[in-house]
């Protein structure tokens, strides 16, 4: 492909090759027939309100960072591949628990199975966000190499899914050709934006994972202040030094922000809430509804809820009467008001607050995607 000149005449041929490679990569990721997926002691049980993976080349300071942020000891040394498996630790931050995973270093070719690359990548796919740890004193080319390795196995960092929907568009030869490669002969495809061949392949493959990634430049103690300044100004980047314990608060704050967690405090009637014990919800699906909050407390709670009182930045009054379709903000306080048994038919009063489940799911669909 690198040797093929890019022009109108070769466009179809290149598109086809890209689709072929994508298909082969997907096959490569499938566990060999007959074996159970993973299964070599690498997978760690999920714990806490979210999961963060440390990805990076060997000896960039992943284990040092895990030990410092979580207090769990993970062996660190000046030689490469000190860490050989996945070591979990817990960060206590904002009254929530975040699972941090130390992993073996990965190298170029990891996506094709070099080193323990495939296992490392599988674990990072299971996390909510990735911290890409980089050695500030080394070439920034490392960041591109790692990004390519993760891209090769379907991880898309700091990108949103392409806006392509399967509907009809008859006259697009290249699109046809790629679909043909996938033996799809009868499909409707609708482009909502000017998408690339790679975007189309991502949508057809359907197994891509879109993740937030923070680029963490460690070891800033060994470079000059001008270079530190340059790195710190890049998007999604944080500069730190484990040796000097520099800038950890900024890293934790950024991590928290990117995880998009929402803490909601339950207020019993006539009492103050327990401010050390929030209900922690994710905003994965575009936001966090009162409905999600109720479901989190109890599966069957929803049918007993008459309305809720909300204090906090999502509320227009203090408190605001809200229905199940109201979007909650971080640090909101909620009091649930239940229906009395004999008035179970009396939904009248809060009907306008979209307690109708159909309307809620409709609103959810319209909720802005967090990118
Ligand atoms: N100068 C400097 N050295 C550091 C810093 N953080 C870690 N190191 C050193 O970097 C070396 C590698 O640290 P590790 O924590 O083992 O790195 P790792 O990324 O876990 O390495 P692998 O497990 O082998 O992939 C050790 O000698 C650390 O002391 C830092 O902030 N500044
Ligand atoms: K090391
Ligand atoms: Mg290590």
Instruction: Out of 30-44, 183-197, 228-242, 262-276, pick the least confident.
Output: 30-44
pLDDT tens per residue across span 287-327: 899 999 999 999 889 999 999 999 999 999 999 999 999 99
Q: Tell me, what CATH number does 356's domain have?
A: 3.10.20.30
The CA 230 to ligand 1 mean position distance, Å, reads: 22
Q: Are residues 167 and 139 in the same domain?
A: no
What whole-number distance in Å separates Cα of residue 20 and Cα of residue 14?
10
Q: Are residues 201 and 212 in the same domain?
A: no
Joined together, the tokens standing for residue 228 give 């530190």
Q: Are residues 23 and 168 in the same domain?
A: yes
Assess if residue 63 is contained within a domain: yes
pLDDT tens per residue across span 244-254: 999 999 999 99
Residue 160, pLDDT above cutoff 80: yes
**pTM attached to this predicted model:** 0.79
Q: Using the atom order of ligand 1, give the atom closest to the CA of residue 67.
A: 15
Model confidence at 28, pLDDT cuts 50, 70, 90, reads confident
Q: Considering the chain, what is the average pLDDT of its residues?
A: 85
Q: Are residues 304 and 356 in the same domain?
A: yes
In 3D, which of 281, 292, 116, 121 has the Cα closest to residue 207? 121
Q: Are residues 152 and 243 in the same domain?
A: yes
- Contact 218 CB / ligand 1 (< 6 Å): yes
Beta strand extents in the chain (DSSP E only): 50-56, 87-93, 96-102, 129-135, 155-157, 164-165, 190-191, 209-218, 237-239, 261-266, 279-282, 305-311, 320-322, 332-338
Q: Considering 206, 237, 269, which residue would you say is the last residue of a domain?
A: 206
What whole-number distance in Å separates Cα of residue 200 and Cα of residue 166?
10
For 187, the domain range is 1-30+162-206
The CA 157 to ligand 2 mean position distance, Å, reads: 25
- The residue-averaged pLDDT of 167-194 equals 72
Assess if residue 371 is contained within a domain: no
Residue 367, pLDDT above cutoff 50: no
Q: Give the residue with greater pLDDT, 252 vs 188.
A: 252
Q: Are residues 326 and 361 in the same domain?
A: yes
Q: Using the atom order of ligand 1, give the atom closest to the CA of residue 133.
A: 19
pLDDT at 245: 96
Split into its structural domains, the chain has a count of 3
In the numeric block, the tokens 């929907």 are attached to 165
């Amino acid at each position: 492909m690198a040797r093929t000149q890019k022009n109108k005449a070769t466009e179809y041929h290149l598109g086809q090759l890209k689709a072929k490679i994508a298909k082969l990569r997907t096959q490569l990721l499938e566990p060999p027939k007959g074996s159970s997926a993973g299964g070599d002691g690498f997978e760690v049980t999920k714990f806490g309100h979210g999961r963060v993976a440390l990805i990076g080349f060997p000896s960039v300071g992943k284990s040092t960072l895990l030990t410092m942020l979580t207090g769990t000891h993970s062996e660190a040394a000046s030689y490469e591949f000190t860490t050989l498996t996945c070591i979990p630790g817990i960060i206590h931050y904002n009254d929530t628990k975040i699972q941090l995973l130390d992993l073996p270093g990965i190298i170029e070719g990891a996506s094709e199975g070099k080193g323990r690359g495939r296992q490392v990548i599988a674990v990072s796919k299971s996390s909510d966000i990735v911290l890409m740890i980089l050695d500030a004193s080394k070439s920034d080319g490392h960041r591109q190499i790692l990004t390519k390795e993760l891209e090769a196995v379907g991880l898309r960092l700091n990108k949103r899914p392409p806006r392509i929907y399967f509907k009809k568009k008859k006259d697009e030869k290249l699109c046809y050709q790629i679909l043909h490669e996938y033996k799809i002969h009868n499909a409707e495809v609708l482009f909502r934006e000017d998408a690339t061949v790679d975007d189309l392949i991502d949508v057809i493959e359907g197994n891509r994972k879109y993740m937030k990634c923070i680029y963490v430049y460690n070891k800033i103690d060994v470079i000059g202040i001008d270079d530190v300044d340059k790195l710190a100004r890049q998007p999604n980047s944080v500069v730190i030094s484990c040796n000097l314990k520099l800038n950890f608060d900024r890293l934790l704050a950024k991590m928290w922000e990117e995880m998009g967690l929402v803490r909601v405090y339950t207020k019993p009637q006539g009492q103050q809430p327990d401010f050390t014990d929030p209900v922690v919800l994710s905003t994965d699906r575009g936001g966090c509804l009162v409905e999600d909050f109720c479901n989190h407390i109890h599966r069957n709670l929803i049918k007993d809820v008459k309305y809720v009182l909300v204090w906090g930045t999502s509320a227009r009054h203090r408190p605001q009467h809200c229905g199940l379709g109201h979007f909650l903000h971080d640090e909101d306080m909620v009091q649930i008001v239940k229906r009395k048994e004999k008035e179970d038919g009396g939904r009248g009063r809060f009907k306008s607050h979209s307690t109708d489940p159909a309307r809620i799911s409709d609103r959810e669909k319209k909720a802005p995607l967090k990118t």
